[in-house]
């Protein structure tokens, strides 16, 4: 265990975060497991280990840890191949590590040295391929609980995950603010006081996230600003549990808490924003839920979607697309408005007589106006708005806008 440092200034700590493999400036993150890829992380139960003699139990746990180190390397290799810039490591990467009776020190395991060696190899691979890694401890990790035993178990869990984080080069161990316990201010003060009990290794990696029930970004920002703990801004949680801040304001304020590349969370509601329980996560991300104000930022966005790698890859493709609403002038002088994500190809298709029925008998067409939109939905809405304009209004739009050159 490292020494505890009550006066640690995390603002002076720097992690090696080089330019990321991004879509624009966005590094997308995959969370913990896979939907289709045959990459599996192994676990066990306290009941199973408790039924064994201590030596046999340690031998089994040692084998699981080795297998998980190998699975992590496979996960990182997949991310490198697919251009996924971040991977969240499962909290049980070392199974039952901190359990009060079945827990263990890595040095106790028969393959302890080899386990550490393999995890460090994962760290070298991640660094070489510029893949960020992180942890997100389970909900039972609560630093502001009024119950000392809960706090002690939470500290032990943070220390364990921070130890593995050090091996692999992970720079984030993210938790929620915890409970309100009838008084948010006192609970957050208790959170801040508990930080002094963390080692430097854990303290320097700790981040806090707004949740969908209790703590909003506005609640947590004063804590982050006073302690130097970065805010992982979850925009889905913010939409479910809003405060006086807009998404743009919360984004700017959250970024200001970071001394390295910021990390945010994104998910979409299972049954839409008007559904009965918008907190529940969809299999995929609705690209319209991706805030426009994030698009030009240098940022890690963890994709919290049930389809896992499929959702990340779909979003990655959608963010790379450029959608346009456009106007062409036909040979008879009339205007046609459409949308596309391949503008030059679409104009060529029109002039080849394979485009819209309206333009086929009015060739050739000439591109006279276009607007770039963040996604297909926005482009379709803009197309509808332009189609509703009078001819003279369209002419004014064309004369003052993005003419084709």
Q: Print pLDDT tens along the chain (405 aa).
A: 333 343 344 444 444 544 445 565 899 999 999 999 999 999 999 999 999 999 999 999 999 999 999 999 999 999 999 999 999 999 999 999 999 999 999 999 999 999 999 999 999 999 999 999 999 999 999 999 999 999 999 999 999 999 999 999 999 999 999 999 999 999 999 999 999 999 999 999 999 999 999 999 999 999 999 999 999 999 999 999 999 999 999 999 999 999 999 999 999 999 999 999 999 999 999 999 999 999 989 999 999 999 999 999 999 999 998 899 999 999 999 999 999 999 999 999 999 999 999 999 999 999 999 998 888 888 999 999 999 999 999 999 999 876 443
Tell me the sheet residues that pair with 46.
none
Cβ atoms of 108 and 58 within 8 Å: the answer is yes
- Residue 41, token pair as written in the block: 């992380």
**DSSP letter assigned to residue 257:** T
Using CA atoms, how far apart are residues 393 and 298, in angstroms rounded to an integer? Answer: 38
- Predicted confidence at residue 404, as pLDDT, reads 43
Distance from the Cα of residue 261 to its chain's centroid:
12
- Predicted confidence at residue 21, as pLDDT, reads 53
The closest alpha carbon to 334, from 387, 291, 373, belongs to: 387
- Predicted confidence at residue 322, as pLDDT, reads 87
- Predicted confidence at residue 18, as pLDDT, reads 47
Q: Which helix (H) or strand (E) holds 338?
A: strand 335-340
Q: Which helix (H) or strand (E) holds 30?
A: strand 26-31
- pTM of this prediction? 0.86
- Predicted confidence at residue 20, as pLDDT, reads 47
Tell me the sheet residues that pair with 124.
none
* Helices and strands, counts by H and E, the chain: 14, 11
- Predicted confidence at residue 335, as pLDDT, reads 96
Using CA atoms, how far apart are residues 30 and 46, in angstroms rounded to an integer? Answer: 28
- Residue 96, token pair as written in the block: 């039952």
- Predicted confidence at residue 23, as pLDDT, reads 60
The answer, yes or no, to whether the previous bond of 364 is cis (omega within 30 of 0) is yes
- Predicted confidence at residue 400, as pLDDT, reads 84
Q: What are phi and psi of 284, to 5 degrees?
A: -130, 175
Both ends of the chain: CA-CA distance in Å?
65
Q: What are phi and psi of 367, to 5 degrees?
A: -70, 120
Find all residues with CB under 8 Å of 348, minimum gap 6, and list them: none
């Amino acid at each position: 265990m490292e020494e505890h440092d009550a006066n640690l200034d995390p603002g002076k700590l720097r992690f090696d975060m080089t330019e990321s493999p991004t879509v624009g400036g966005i590094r997308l993150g995959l969370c913990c497991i896979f939907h289709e890829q045959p990459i599996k992380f192994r676990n066990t139960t306290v009941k199973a280990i408790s039924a064994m003699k201590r030596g046999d139990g340690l031998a089994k746990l040692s084998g699981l840890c080795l297998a998980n180190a190998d699975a992590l390397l496979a996960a990182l290799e997949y991310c490198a191949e697919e251009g996924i810039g971040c991977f969240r490591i499962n909290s049980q990467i070392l199974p039952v590590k901190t359990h009060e009776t079945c827990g263990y020190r890595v040095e106790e395991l028969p393959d302890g040295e080899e386990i550490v060696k393999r995890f460090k190899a994962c760290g070298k691979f991640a660094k070489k391929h510029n893949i960020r890694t992180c942890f997100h401890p389970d909900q039972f990790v609560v630093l502001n609980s009024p119950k000392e035993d809960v706090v002690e178990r939470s500290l032990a869990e943070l220390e364990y995950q921070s130890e593995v984080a050090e091996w692999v080069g992970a720079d984030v161990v993210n938790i929620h603010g915890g409970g309100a316990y009838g008084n948010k201010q006192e609970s957050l003060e208790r959170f801040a006081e508990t930080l002094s009990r963390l080692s430097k290794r854990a303290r320097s990696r700790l981040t806090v996230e707004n949740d969908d029930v209790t703590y909003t970004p506005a609640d947590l920002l004063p804590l982050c600003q006073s302690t130097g703990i970065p805010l992982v801004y979850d925009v889905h949680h913010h939409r479910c549990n809003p405060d006086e801040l807009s998404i743009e304001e919360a984004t700017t304020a959250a970024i200001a808490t970071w001394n390295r590349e910021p990390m945010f969370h994104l998910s979409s509601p299972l049954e839409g924003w008007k559904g009965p329980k918008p907190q529940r996560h969809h299999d995929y991300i609705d690209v319209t839920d991706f805030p426009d104000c994030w698009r030009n930022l240098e940022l890690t966005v963890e994709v919290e979607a049930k389809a896992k790698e499929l959702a990340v890859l779909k979003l990655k493709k959608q963010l790379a697309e450029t959608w346009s609403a456009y106007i062409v002038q036909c040979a008879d002088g009339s205007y046609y408005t459409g949308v596309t994500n391949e503008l030059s190809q679409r104009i060529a298709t029109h002039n080849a007589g394979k485009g819209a029925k309206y333009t086929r008998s009015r060739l050739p067409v000439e591109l006279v106006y276009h607007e770039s939109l963040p996604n297909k939905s926005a482009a379709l809405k803009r197309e509808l708005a332009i189609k509703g304009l009078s001819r003279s209004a369209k002419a004014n739009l064309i004369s003052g806008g993005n003419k084709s050159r």
